[in-house]
Chain A
């Protein structure tokens, strides 16, 4: 008799859907996954309901791949539920791992976001100033919407997480590596980020010499040459602070790394690591010139240093403006 199939769940919270596509990028190997696992829950592809998960025994799911950050009470509830029902919970992709792009909204709070989305955008017509409410009374009773949080959180700021699969989205090969490790029971110690512990620079084919920069340039200001290190050409390339694993995809197509694989082991704050590395390539010794180079070349420091990792950073968010401020 063949050995009993494992149970696999996939879920999405605050994410774009790219991680779901990344799973499909497994291509024919998805059949091997289906061979080894019953997919018991996957809202995007399988018709199982939340109540089916609620009915399961605790720990009944063998592996749950959870993508997306936590921004609403509904997502937090699902994170708690899937944590309880799963033996192994994997934070899948940048948003779940570090907050990802949705966490850049931590530069704003709930009110600001609502005002932009439901009042200020040119396509919005909202003369009565109606905003989503967690509770609405209708003749039939009370309707509920999830509570929208001020601050986007990572999965592991919400529930304990066993493994992390970095990337926006993770590369199919890396997903397959992780699945194989699970199938062969070769998973490393809990808490591990499933990936390499070198930097994107180490896997980048571009030619490097001494990095000395008098000016940071934005991507639209230059057409970089195809051979030299992009950082040496003045582009803010994050490869120096970013975990390897993608095969240096972006610099290979003439585009700087923007850091989607996150920090290497032992780095507490991705942006701090990047700031330290970038600071050391600035070729200036006078405070005024240093300041000019930084302010002119990096107009959006948080978007540049914490594009995928603001929720996971030490400060987590911009100072929260209190009501009325």
Chain B
């Protein structure tokens, strides 16, 4: 029997709030799904759309970006920038056939360990329902390709013999 599907989630967490919330969740022994690989960034505004695309292209099933609540960013307005980028990215991802449940922007302050844990659980559950994304499989051509390439080489070699 095949293993049950365990979603791989990448989480970009702001150092000043959500990352501390995750820390707090840990020290307070709040349980959450173990599927998220956390990457600490200095601010949600540091998360370039490239990071999210790269995570998906390398095989993540979902991505979470988490930062300080609007108005509470340590770099003033950067989480608003994150919000605008995130909407832009989501708009593009939908057009690429990525279900918008797979990428999520979350606000969690340093005190909100429980809220962050809940958001992680929710994302994992939603992605589990959607199934694996397995993006790199998207551009594998079928076996016809190699066969065709061999065929061309073979036919050209044959023609060459006839001609010489």
Contacts and interface: CB of A to CB of B under 8 A. Distances in A.
Contacts of A80: 149
A83 interface: no
B156 A73 contact: no
A67 B24 CA distance: 55
Interface residues of A, number: 50
Given A147-B148, A272-B49, A77 B153 contact: yes
Contacts of A272: 48-50, 53, 89
Interface string A29-51: 00000000000000000000011
A151 B152 contact: no
Interface size bracket, B side: 35 or more
A112 B30 CA distance: 49
Interface of B: 48-50, 53-54, 56-57, 70, 80-81, 83-85, 87-89, 91-92, 95-98, 135, 137-139, 141, 144-145, 147-149, 151-153, 155-156, 159-160, 163
Interface of A: 50-51, 54-55, 73-74, 76-77, 80, 107, 134, 144, 146-147, 149-151, 153, 268-269, 271-273, 275-276, 278-280, 282, 284-285, 287, 290-291, 294-295, 298, 300-302, 305, 313-321
Given A74-B152, A280-B84, A301-B92, 10 more contacts: A50-B156, A51-B160, A146-B148, A147-B141, A269-B50, A269-B53, A272-B49, A298-B91, A314-B56, A318-B96
Report the 3 A-B pairs with minimum CB-CB distance, sorted nearest first.
A319-B97, A73-B148, A272-B49
22 contacts: A50-B156, A73-B145, A77-B152, A107-B95, A134-B144, A151-B141, A269-B50, A272-B50, A275-B89, A276-B50, A279-B85, A285-B83, A287-B87, A290-B87, A294-B88, A295-B91, A300-B95, A302-B92, A302-B95, A315-B96, A317-B96, A320-B139
